Amino acid sequence: MIETEAVVVKIEHDVAYVQAERKSSCSGCSESSCGTSVLANFFGQRTPLYRASNEVGAKVGDRVVVGMDESALFKGTLLLYLFPLLLLFAGAVAGSALAVSAEVKDGYSAAGAFIGLAAGFLGLKFLSSKMGMGRRFQPVILSRMVDMPVRVVNFEGGLKK
């Protein structure tokens, strides 16, 4: 299970909309001229809202732990990248095979690749809406942060000088 901390922003019936902080791989870096920080600033700092099943009864403003099954995330990512790419290649091969002469083969191949890619994105939109409704592919609020046990450490002897 992949877990992250988030804040509940909105509640609708048994669904909570949560906002998780974006974590950069170099967030500790103060260098503002590196490629990663430039790219992050280009796309903006707005954090998206995510729908999560609210089985713990979290309320607006609660800090929560949200989790998602690793295999579902892997399958979704694989589908997101491979499905359009496979249809792009299939379209290019089909376009090349349908070419009437060798002079127009490249044009047909490029047009077929574009049509295959467009079909891949449309198919992905349809498949993701079907998969997204499945319980397995939904993030779940695992616990509220106030429900988490607090560990108290006894410090004997004080500070060393």
Tell me the HSE value of 22 on the side-chain side, using a 13 A CA sphere. 12
pTM for this predicted structure: 0.57
**What is the distance between the alpha carbons of residues 62 and 51, in angstroms, rounded to a whole number?**
15
- pLDDT above 80 (res 91): yes
Per DSSP, helices labelled H in the chain are 35-43, 70-98, 105-132
Only one residue has tokens 């592919």, namely 137
48 or 88: which leads in pLDDT: 88
What band does 150 get if pLDDT is binned at 50, 70 and 90?
A: very low
Q: Which of 109, 120, 114, 112 is nearest to 87 (CA)?
A: 120
- pLDDT above 60 (res 31): no
Give residue 124's Cα distance to chain centre.
15
Domain boundaries, the chain: 2-23+46-147
pLDDT of residue 132: 62
Q: What is the mean pLDDT of residues 38-51?
A: 68
